[in-house]
Amino acid sequence: MTTTPSRLTSFRERKDQYYGSDPHSPLSEAQRTAFTGMRYYDERPDLVFELPIDSSGEDVGEHLEMPTSDGQAKHYVRAGRIRFEADGQPVTLTVFKDVERGRYFLPFRDGTSGKETYGAGRYLDPKTRPDGTLVVDFNYAYNPYCAYGEGWSCPIPPLENFARPKIEAGERRFHDDD
C-alpha cells in the first residue's frame, strides 16, 4: 500500500529540491553541491494553531523599523499579539505586518535558538482565515537566508518575540557550528 506524503512533507521536499539545485537559492554553489537536505523537526500537530490576533495593545498599529543583519532596517507595523502554549508554558508573540507586501510576519527566538535552531531566530508567515483568525503552523518555521551565508539582509527578531519555551518544530540549524 502506498501512502501519500503529507502537505508538510511535500513542501519540505520541494524546498530541499530548490535549495539544492536552483542557482537562486540562498546556498552558494559549493553548498548546493554538498547539499543533502535541510534538517527538520518531526511534524508536530500540537504546534499548529488557529488564533485570534489581539489588537488591543497601545502599540498596535505603530510603525517599526526592524533592524537587519546587514545594518539596514525593514519596515513593519505591529498588527497585534497571539497567545498559545508551547512546551507546557504560555507564550505571547507579536505579529507584524510587512509594510511593502501587506503580509503577516512572525520573527521569533525560542528555547532552541542557538542550540538546535539558528541562533538569530526563525521566521513564520501566518495565514489569515476568512474569520480573521491566524493559522500559525510552527512546522513551517524557517531559517532566514542569513543562516546559510553572508550577503543577505535578514530582520532580527525583536526582544518582545523571545519565547522562553522550546518550539520544537520547523527547520533546525543548517550548520552544527553556527
- pLDDT at 178 (0 to 100): 43
- Look at phi and psi of residue 61 and say left if phi exceeds 0, alpha if psi is from -120 to 50, else beta: left
Provide the whole-model pTM: 0.92
- pLDDT at 124 (0 to 100): 97
19 Cβ partners below 8 Å, 6+ apart?
25, 26, 27, 32, 35, 38
- pLDDT at 150 (0 to 100): 86
CA angle (155, 29, 106) in 5-degree steps:
20
- pLDDT at 49 (0 to 100): 97
- pLDDT at 100 (0 to 100): 86
- pLDDT at 149 (0 to 100): 86
Instruction: Output helix, strand, coil percentages for the chain, rounded to the nearest 5.
Output: 20, 30, 50
Ranges of the chain whose pLDDT falls below 70:
1-5, 175-178
| Structural contact between residues 16 and 9, judged by C-beta atoms closer than 8 angstroms | no
CA distance 6 to 64: 37
- Look at phi and psi of residue 94 and say left if phi exceeds 0, alpha if psi is from -120 to 50, else beta: beta
- pLDDT at 57 (0 to 100): 85
Q: How many alpha carbons fall within 13 Å on the CB side of residue 33?
A: 3
Beta strand residue intervals within the chain, DSSP E? 48-51, 63-67, 73-86, 89-98, 104-108, 122-124, 127-128, 134-137
- pLDDT at 3 (0 to 100): 60
Specify the DSSP class assigned to residue 156.
P
